[in-house]
Amino acid sequence: MALTLKMSCSITASLTVFVLSLLFSISSSANVSPPIPICNSTPYPSLCRSSLPNNNATANVYDYGRFSVKKSLSAARKFSSLIQKYLSRPSALTAGTIGALEDCRLLAESNIDFLTNSFQVVNKTQTLSTLRADDVQTLLSALLTNTQTCLDGLEETASSWRSKNGISIPLANDTRLYRVSLALFRKGWVHNNNRGPSKPHKKHSAFKDGKLPLKMSEENRVLFETVGRRKLLQTDSNQVMVKSIVTVSQDGTGNYTTINDAIAAAPNNSIASNGYYLIYVTAGIYEEHVSIAKNKKYLMMIGDGINQTVITGSNNVVDGSTTFNSSTFAVVGQGFVAVNLTIRNTAGAIKHQAVALRNGADLSTFYSCSFEGYQDTLYVHSLRQFYTECDIYGTVDFIFGNAAVVFQNCNIYSRLPMSGQFNAITAQGRTDPNQNTGISIQNCNIRAADDLASNNGTTKTYLGRPWKEYSRTVYMQSYIDTLVNSAGWREWSGDFALSTLYYAEFNNKGPGSNTTSRVTWPGYHMINATDAGNFTVSSFLLGDDWIPQTGAPYSSSL
């Protein structure tokens, strides 16, 4: 990741003009427009008041929320058209700028989907279940993440592009409107007490009586039983539904020889109740940049085991990729499940940002997988994610992003970085206090990889640092070895975010868990069981509603 973004003087000047004109407009109309107290609950009350209709004295937070989401949808469509206009003249662009704009186009299309789905919900009712409200808050949270990712990519690879202001300024204006929409939705539809206390401890078993629980045809069952590791897929009461199964094998004995070909053949827009399209990837090293698009929903990919089925690539920022597009494996299709895979980025520490997995798939699960890289290994980009019994290797900011994500029973290994670098395990990217995002690390092992362990001990390793202003990360019930510096956490730049972040520790163990010398930032906390319960699978992800169908083992609570 690049350092904290700073707008150029020209952008700042343009925004200043925008804000002054906005204030003038509000001031000149103050004698005819009644105040809108609802707007005081948003981060931009003046923008809220100027953007929303204020001629209806009976309008409530739901009316304003609907209008704001609708206006946000209009803004997202305009921005998407703007990106397309620039991309229609590629001869005037550098390769880096084209790459950043293509990322922005993909993200803008997702934003249109998120806002369309959100408006369909809020336009029908002002009473939502906890799960449905969480769905919409998740989409509106990801909306902000996508706009920030677009801006980050432009700063990263297109910093000298003369027309960048033509993208950055509209994007900054849209971001303010999106934040107003999120704040109004949370005030109207989301009630924190809906979730209630964390449920009693519940451990879901990986398998039962040694029998495979997958529901499938006898022909597919015979095929599936050739899979090497069978440590998977059993819930206490439900069987995992599999609609069809295909095999990827490099020797030509399967249905496909490449993973991407198998993905391309998968049905579009499947629904959970119809069962998974299961792709079994036999042992081998697959040099592919795998991409699972938004229309490839409810895919399950199973390999022959960590270090047996290996997917590898080497894209990186030094060689011209954006961080977003440097991933070996990228998934955005909802409901994705992966089991028994290794995903690597082999660019090495010298290439800086080089992502192994980028995950923007809602309700996605990774079980018994390994992610290997150095800087920016695992990009938990957005939406809701769960990882269990996985291995994660890296150096600088190697678990980063702005998803709502829980890591449970994982091994997190810090590697030896380049000379002069320090290790930061996490760099969480929450940009708004109303986003329901954060990184929760529960019952994991935090250790040094072999290359770091055999080093002379001069490398400093930290639990995390604040990539964005409202960065949120919690470690609980985990083993923390001696590699972690006694301060625990590292600043990003000066006092940036130290009072707005939320970093917490609960009931950890091991020599690196001693909190006596931890940082004293306003945003750092040592929490009790009640607070820690807010970051469990059942509370933080509402995971009891969707993880059982994946068959992955998990604990609901502390």
Rounded Cα distance between 431 and 429, Å, is 6
Angle at 556 between CA 553 and CA 558, to 5 degrees: 115
Q: How many helices (H) and strands (E) does the chain have?
A: 11, 26
H-helix segments, 355-513:
450-453
Helix (H, G, I), strand (E, B) or coil at 329: strand
The tokens describing 91, both together, are 């001869």
**Contact 423/440 with Cβ under 8 angstroms?**
no
Burial class (CB within 10 angstroms; exposed 0-12, middle 13-18, buried 19+) of 229: middle
Residue holding tokens 């979730």? 195
The pairing of beta strand 357-359 with beta strand 378-380? parallel
Rounded Cα distance between 506 and 219, Å, is 48
Which residue among the candidates 103, 134, 304, 397 is catalytic per the annotation?
397
CA dihedral angle for residue 201, residue 202, residue 203, residue 208, rounded to 10 degrees: 150
Beta bridge partners of 300: 278, 337
Beta bridge partners of 473: 439, 503
**Contact 498/518 with Cβ under 8 angstroms?**
no
User: Which residues lie below 8 Å from residue 213, measured CB to CB, with a gap of 6+?
Assistant: 207, 233, 234, 235, 239, 240, 551
Rounded Cα distance between 297 and 302, Å, is 16
Cα end-to-end span (Å), the chain: 32
Rounded Cα distance between 496 and 468, Å, is 9
Residue 550 DSSP class: G
Count Cα atoms within 13 angstroms, Cβ side, for 440. 27
User: 428: closest CA among 352, 376, 486?
Assistant: 376
The residue length of the chain stands at: 558
Helix (H, G, I), strand (E, B) or coil at 432: coil
**Contact 474/408 with Cβ under 8 angstroms?**
no
Q: Is residue 134 annotated as a catalytic residue, yes or no?
A: no
- Rg of the chain in Å (alpha carbons): 23
Concatenated DSSP letters of 59-89: --HHHHHHHHHHHHHHHHHHHHHHHHHHHT-
Q: Is the alpha carbon torsion for 395, 311, 474, 389 positive or negative?
A: negative
Looking at residue 240, its amino acid is V
Active site residues: 397
